[in-house]
Structure 1
């Protein structure tokens, strides 16, 4: 199954500048694992040392929040996975 991962601007330095990456996997977690297989630097950007998504990362599947249980959500061919990073500033 091929889906499209949409990469947030702050992470594009880790995907050779790509805004989107074609990923394979029948769940969001497996699709993200494929993204990391293609771009290993994305692992530390998305996950903590215990393998949990960082708190500032939000995953959307076809423009709808995948929370809770985002890594277990099923992915169908042609789905869009948006990786959103919450930023703060002042």
Structure 2
């Protein structure tokens, strides 16, 4: 089952500039783990030390927020995950 993951521009440094990565997965967590297996530099950009999403990361599934319970959302072939990073500045 092929899932497309679209990366925020700040994460593309870990994927040689690729915006979209195809992975396998039956739920969002499995797909993200497969992404991190391909690009280990993304692990600390997405997950905290306990394996939870960082507080400034939001997951969209097929262009809709997957919150709450985003990591457990089931996937089907052709689904798209967007990793959104909230940025702040001042």
TMscore range, shorter length: over 0.9
Deviation, 1:38, is: 0.5
Any residues of structure 2 matched to 1:1-90 within 5 Å, and which? Answer: 1-90=1-90
| Gaps in structure 2 of 5+ consecutive residues | none
Query: Residues of 2 paired with 1:67 and 1:23: CA distance?
Result: 21
Query: Residues of 2 paired with 1:17 and 1:30: CA distance?
Result: 23
Normalising by structure 2, we get a TM-score of 0.98
Aligned residues: 90
Q: Deviations over 1:63-82 (max 9, x none)?
A: 01011110100111100100
Normalising by structure 1, we get a TM-score of 0.98
3-state SS of paired residue (2:35) = helix
| Gaps in structure 1 of 5+ consecutive residues | none
Give the alignment's Cα RMSD to 1 decimal: 0.5
Q: Deviations over 1:43-73 (max 9, x none)?
A: 1000001111000000000001011110100
Query: Residues of 2 paired with 1:72 and 1:11: CA distance?
Result: 22
